[in-house]
């Protein structure tokens, strides 16, 4: 599955046949993906602040909410601590994503249970990969790479994904 297939499938589920919206969503995703980021799943849902449905895109790195060409609402998978689904008469299936960066509510989500399970599995894999990266010895490389790795560690620490002890240990491994 590539990015185009993922966006098309989500827009089909949302019942949105507007080609301009699809193209804008695809451009937004492609402009913001990391080199090793891959598509995982997508569905349609509505943010409580919007009347029409948007697209929920799950990647190997994050969850994105896309709507009408607006900047995506990203949720890093490493920060996701829980994803639950409830059902209400008014809002249909409600997906609540709890992350260290805040909680996010999406209403009228299509196949919410399946998507929530995919989200939980992807978040588990992202956290495992992050922990393995922290325990691995630092590769020899340029100073720019070291600075990038230190900035990423600092961001994880600030978001609460790393404890003070984990942050200090990982920083010492990188610096040597």
Q: Same domain, yes or no, for 142 and 93?
A: no
Q: Render pLDDT for 9-68 as a digit per residue (tens, 0 to 9).
A: 777 777 777 788 778 777 877 777 778 888 899 998 998 877 778 889 899 999 988 877
Task: Please count the structural domains in the chain.
Answer: 2
Q: How many Å from the N-terminal Cα to the C-terminal Cα in the chain? A: 40
Q: Same domain, yes or no, for 84 and 148?
A: no
Work out the average pLDDT over 102-122.
93
Q: Same domain, yes or no, for 86 and 12?
A: yes
Q: Same domain, yes or no, for 115 and 140?
A: no
Residue 131, domain member (yes or no): no
CB count within 10 Å of CB 92 equals 15
**CATH number, domain at 110?**
2.30.29.30
Range of the domain at 75: 3-126
How far is it, in rounded angstroms, from Cα 79 to Cα 131? 13
Instruction: Check: CB of residue 13 under 8 Å from CB of residue 43.
Output: yes
- On whether the pTM is more than 0.85, the answer is no
């Amino acid at each position: 599955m590539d990015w185009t297939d993922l966006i098309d499938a989500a827009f089909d589920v949302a019942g949105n046949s507007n080609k301009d919206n699809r193209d804008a969503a695809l451009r937004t995703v492609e402009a913001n993906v990391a080199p090793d980021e891959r598509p995982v799943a997508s569905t349609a849902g509505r943010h409580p602040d919007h009347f029409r449905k948007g697209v929920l895109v799950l990647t190997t790195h994050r969850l994105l909410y896309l709507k009408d060409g607006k900047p995506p609402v990203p949720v890093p998978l490493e920060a996701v601590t829980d994803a639950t689904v409830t059902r209400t008469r008014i809002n249909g299936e409600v997906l609540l994503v709890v992350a260290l960066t805040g909680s996010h509510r999406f209403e009228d989500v299509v196949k919410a249970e399946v998507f929530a399970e995919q989200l939980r599995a992807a978040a588990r894999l992202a956290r495992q990969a992050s922990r393995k990266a922290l325990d691995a010895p630092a590769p020899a490389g340029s100073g720019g790479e070291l600075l990038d790795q230190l900035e990423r560690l600092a961001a994880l620490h600030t978001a609460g994904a790393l404890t003070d002890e984990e942050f200090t240990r990982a920083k010492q491994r990188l610096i040597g």
